[in-house]
Amino acid sequence: MRALQLQPVFFEAAFNLAALLQEIGQEDEAIACYRQALHLKPDYAPAWGNLGVALRDARPPDIPQLFHYVGCMAWSRTENGVPGNEFLMAVDS
């Protein structure tokens, strides 16, 4: 947390803090940190994946944001012309 206070543009600190917060069940805080990390490095796929899981696991879940997120991921990823099947299956599990 101190690293983010000192240098708020430190992507690795934001991502690692988000993962730690998610691990201990603080999804709302993790979501905010994943968003900060993605603001700094928007092409980092693991942060997008972890954000989706945190949105899914948040209590209460933010259903509109989760559906928006899944729709964006499905639109942006295609494999053999089929949008995002592998990601959608992971979010459903």
pLDDT of residue 17 exceeding 90, the answer is: yes
pLDDT at 81: 46
**Tokens representing 3?**
């690293």
Domain ranges of the chain: 2-92
pLDDT at 76: 60
Q: What share of the chain is helix, strand, coil (3-state, %, to 5)?
A: 70, 5, 25
Is 44 within 8 Å of 15 (Cβ atoms)? Answer: yes
| pTM metric for this prediction | 0.65
pLDDT of residue 86 exceeding 50, the answer is: no
| Residue-wise pLDDT tens digits, 34-80 | 999 988 888 888 898 899 889 888 888 777 777 777 776 666 655 54
Indicate the class that CATH gives domain 2-92.
mainly alpha
